[in-house]
Each structure stands twice: as structure tokens, then as C-alpha cells.
Amino acid sequence: DTIGDNLDRTAAARPDAEALVDRTRGERFTWAEFVAEVDALALGLLDAGVAKGDRVGIWAPNCSPWTLLQYATAKIGAILVNINPAYRTHELAFVLDQAGISLLVAARSFKTSDYAAMIDEVRPERAALQRVVIIDSDEWHGLFVRGGDVARVREVSATLSPDDAINIQYTSGTTGFPKGATLSHHNILNNGYFVGQLIGYTDADRVCIPVPFYHCFGMVMGNLACTSSGATMVIPAPGFDPTSTLEAVAAERCTSLYGVPTMFIAELGLDDFESYDLTSLRTGIMAGSPCPIEVMKQVVERMGMSEVAISYGMTETSPVSTQTRRDDSLDRRVSTVGRTMPHLESKIVDPETGLTVPRGTPGELCTRGYSVMLGYWEQADKTAEVIDRARWMHTGDLGVMDDEGYINITGRIKDMVIRGGENIYPREIEEFLYTHPDIVDAQVIGVPDERYGEELMAWVRLKPGAGSLTTEAVREFASGRLAHYKIPRYVHVVDEFPMTVTGKVRKVQMREEAVELLG
Ligand code: ATP
Ligand code: MG
């Protein structure tokens, strides 16, 4: 199936059920209405001369037009290029050039970003960018050809292959400059389908999606999991905001809620948390970065998400490689990233030799199967660095697999700290720091040290009203509980961590700032 075929099938089976709710725009679509809008937009794109393989950029926070464009481009085989809502002119220009975008659809503005002005600034030098359409402008409305000849869309759809490239998604840029993962219908449709299947989505489910569509967490694990199962997509707000998220769950009676750990921490930390009716929640997904056990437990106990899952993956693998199952024990669901997804393979290798290590031994996690991207867009050299000749994707993440196939992510190869010859996984120290009564969030990095090569530095965020916390106090708390070499030498109290828009902590930036701090 292509994404378009799959959507049509879902919609035909339940035309009058609710497909999409955009709370900010005050819009609701049944499946029949949703498909009619997608087809109208697909026709408009065809009329505008958009052909199979053309790159169509989308630069907007979460909103219904984003979703409509996602499916309209898929129906006609145009390649959707997701552009990070946090970008500024320099990065926008980079993506426009790198992906060769000919049509750009953009919001007029978002928060302090005047997208229209930024586009005007970079546009004169870009001949390849033939057309820019601002969402909600007359031109945007003109792109919808309602009551037109939908057979034309079907004719084009019938020529598409599930293995065609359909989407370019840039990685989060946690470890360096983002790379454009090129993904096919087959890659992302199957991944979305299996994510939904493992959670047990039916058309009775209503999924609250505060994670960005620009990232695979939103557009695949959110939108595609819903459109392949008939569950309703609920957009709480354009950007993440804990209040509007919980309001949406309560008002829309959502059964499932998504987030990266920092989002759940923000929601649980709201002063008026107890006032939201979250009794409809059954499940949800926490993913994207290490999911602290403490936070998972609170999500189960205080938010009532008794079936909550953890997923692990990366943009390059569509994204999900492993996920916990509904019937996994609670302990496994909060403390591992689950087992390999159906029809995919995982192995753990010694990063030096490339040989598979025995169960229980840490090494680099590798993924193989339908979800592995076609490659990085026009960067064959970079693709060859991560996908080997046997089609294994080398994730750059450190993991351990137990005898039953449950995987634990212990860190990123690039984040591992080597102090006096001891390999230390910051993740382990972070989990420990979460158990401190005054600490709400903790991140650990390695900083250069003359004596040991590297020393550990912890950045911590304190609970409101916790006052202050000294390095000595933390070291004392850790002493006797952690091996001496794992006790952070430095503790730095902060209000915020440097973050990517996908909610990941930018440790690269933390290390740079730490070096300055230590002078
Ligand atoms: P870049 O590749 O540009 O440096 P990135 O790797 O953060 O950025 P993504 O593809 O968005 O970009 O994120 C994938 C990474 O997120 C994984 O490689 C892994 O390090 C981390 N990750 C995802 N899910 C989990 C999880 N459940 N537990 C731990 N880490 C996770
Ligand atoms: Mg990555």
C-alpha cells in the first residue's frame, strides 16, 4: 500500500467518525471530510504543476493544514520536506537548497518567528524555489480544488510505488548538523501501523499529539499510527505547552498522550495538575530521549496511563526500532525500551570490531529491516557511514540486550565519558540524581580534566521551593551509593537546559558552556 491507499481504506470504513481535531483553529474533520480536503489539496497541487518526486517544503508548527499537506503530497508522490519550526534564515536557506524545494508551504508566523519575512529575505537568491504559499492566505485557499475530478488524483496515485521516496526528515541535530533522512511510503507507513498495533489503537482511541509533526514522533507515531488504525488525531496547540496539552486531554477525552520526557515533567509539575480530568487516558508513548524511571512511574500513577509504552528509535529508522508491549510487566515497561518491533532485527555489536557481543554486554545497537531509510538525501558518503553493506543501520547508541530480547539504552557513543580509563554512561548517573528529593531533572556530561582526561559534571534543575543545592551536598548524597568515580565532580544548578525543538538536551552545547564555566 501507499500512504494514500491506506488513508482511503481507513476513511471508507468509518466515514462519519472523527479523524482530526485542531483545537486552536477550532476545526473538526470526519474521515470523509478529511479525505475530501486531502483530495482537494492534491488536485490543487497537481494543477500547480507539482509532480511526483518534487520537493514540497512545510514550515509550520502543528496545525491541520500540516496534516492535510502530509497526505495530499503522499497521494501524488511529491516528497514532503519537514522544516524545523525553530529554524531561522540561515538554516531555512540550507534546507531549501539541500532538498531542492520548489514549493514551500509556510505559516505566516509562529511565536517570535516571522516566517513570511524570513522567506522574503532568502528568496531572491533561490531560483529553484518557484512558489511560496502562506497558510490561510487567499493563495492557500485557492490550492483546494473542491468538487474537482478526483479521478485524476487516483490516476497519479496508481502510478506510485510503496518504495518511492515520500518524505525528507532532518535529524534533531543533537550531535551535529542535521542530516536529511529520505524515507519511503513503505518505511513510514509500516512503522506507524506497527506502533499503533502494539498499543492496540482502534477507532475508539483519541490521541493527543503535542510532539512536533515536523519530527517523526508527530507525523509517523502520531498521524500515521492514527490514519492506519482509525484513531482520532488531536492537536492540542501549535507548539508544546503543558496547560493546553492537559486541557486537550480533558476536553477531548483523549485515551493516549505522547511526549518526550521533558514534556511529561512539565505537565506533572503544573501547579494545577490535579484539576485536570485525565481519567480517559489509557496509554501513550514516551520516547525521544532516555525516559527516567521516576517520570515513567508518575505517568502511570498520577496520569493514569497504565498501558504507557516507551519507544526507541531514530529518524533514520522511520523512527521506531524497539517498543514495549501492552502485556510487558510494568517494571519492564518503565525500565527498558522494550523489544524489537515486528519484522525488524536488532543486534548489539562491539563498536571497534563490529562483532556481535554476548547478551548482557553493552555495545552499539544496530537495526535492520523495512524501516531503515533509503539514505541521507544527496549525501551518499554520509549514508555509507551509517548503513553497512548488509543493510544494518548503525545507530550510534549504546545498548544492552537481555536473554529475553529486552533492550536498555545506556547512552550515546558520543556521550560516553571516559574518566581515568573507566567508561561511564551519563544515563546511569542521571537516573541516580533523579532520586534526590530536590532534583527534578538532571543531565550529566564529561568535561576535560588534566588528571583524569575527563571529569563528570552534573547540571540539575531543582524542584520549585527547593532553594539551592551545593556540589558538596550532592556528593555527600551520592557517597556510599555510587562508586566513587561515578560521583560528579561538579554540580551546576540551572533553570533550563539547552534544548532542540524536539525536546532533546543539546549536550554538545552544554559541554561548550561547561568549558567556559570552568574557565
Ligand atoms: P542527530 O542525529 O542530528 O544528532 P538525534 O539523533 O537526536 O540528532 P533523532 O533522530 O531525532 O535525532 O533522535 C534519535 C536519537 O534519540 C537516538 O539515536 C537516541 O539517541 C535517542 N532516543 C530516542 N528514543 C530514545 C529512548 N527511548 N531512550 C533513549 N534514547 C532515545
Ligand atoms: Mg541521530
Report the 3 state secondary structure along 442-460: EEEEEEEECCCEEEEEEEE
Kindly state if the Cβ of 312 falls inside 6 Å of ligand 1.
yes
Which residues make Cβ contacts (< 8 Å) with residue 298, sequence separation at least 6?
264, 268
Kindly state if the Cβ of 55 falls inside 6 Å of ligand 1.
no
| Residues with Cβ–ion distance below 5 A, ligand 2 | 171
- Residue (of 172, 179, 218) closest to 60 by Cα position: 218
Give nearest CA residue, ligand 1 atom 15. Answer: 314
Residues constituting the chain = 519
Query: Nearest bound ligand to CA 261?
Result: 1
Kindly state if the Cβ of 367 falls inside 6 Å of ligand 1.
no
Among all chains, which residue has been given the C-alpha cell 554512561?
A: 425
Q: Strand locations in 147-213, DSSP E?
A: 165-170, 180-184, 206-208
Query: Nearest bound ligand to CA 170?
Result: 1
Question: What is the three-class DSSP state of 401?
Answer: strand
Output the pLDDT for position 91: 87
Output the pLDDT for position 503: 79
For the CA of 427, the nearest atom of ligand 1: 29
Bridge-partner residues for 206, per DSSP?
232
Give nearest CA residue, ligand 1 atom 31. Answer: 289
Instruction: Tell which phi-psi region holds residue 100, choosing left (phi > 0), alpha (psi between -120 and 50) or beta.
Output: left
For the CA of 337, the nearest atom of ligand 1: 27
Distance in angstroms (rounded) separating the CA atoms of residues 310 and 368: 20
Give the Å distance between the CA of 506 and the centre of ligand 1. Answer: 11
Kindly state if the Cβ of 309 falls inside 6 Å of ligand 1.
no
For the CA of 310, the nearest atom of ligand 1: 27
Give me 150's grid cell. 478526483
Give the Å distance between the CA of 176 and the centre of ligand 2. Answer: 9
For the CA of 286, the nearest atom of ligand 1: 27
Kindly state if the Cβ of 314 falls inside 6 Å of ligand 1.
yes
Kindly state if the Cβ of 412 falls inside 6 Å of ligand 1.
yes
* ipTM associated with this complex: 0.98
Give nearest CA residue, ligand 1 atom 3. Answer: 173
For the CA of 179, the nearest atom of ligand 1: 3
Distance in angstroms (rounded) separating the CA atoms of residues 264 and 225: 21
For the CA of 170, the nearest atom of ligand 1: 3
Query: Nearest bound ligand to CA 171?
Result: 1
Give the Å distance between the CA of 347 and the centre of ligand 2. Answer: 18
Give nearest CA residue, ligand 1 atom 13. Answer: 314
pLDDT in tens, 136-179: 999 999 999 999 999 999 999 999 999 999 999 998 877 777 89
Give the Å distance between the CA of 179 and the centre of ligand 2. Answer: 8
Instruction: State which amino acid sits at residue 336.
Output: T
Give the Å distance between the CA of 413 and the centre of ligand 1. Answer: 12
pLDDT under 50: residue ranges of the chain = none
Bridge-partner residues for 182, per DSSP?
168, 375
Query: Nearest bound ligand to CA 317?
Result: 1
Give nearest CA residue, ligand 1 atom 14. Answer: 314
473 φ, ψ (degrees, to nearest 5): -60, -40
Query: Nearest bound ligand to CA 173?
Result: 1
Would you list the DSSP string of 285-321? EEESS---HHHHHHHHHHH--TT-EEEEE-GGGSSEE
Distance in angstroms (rounded) separating the CA atoms of residues 240 and 245: 7
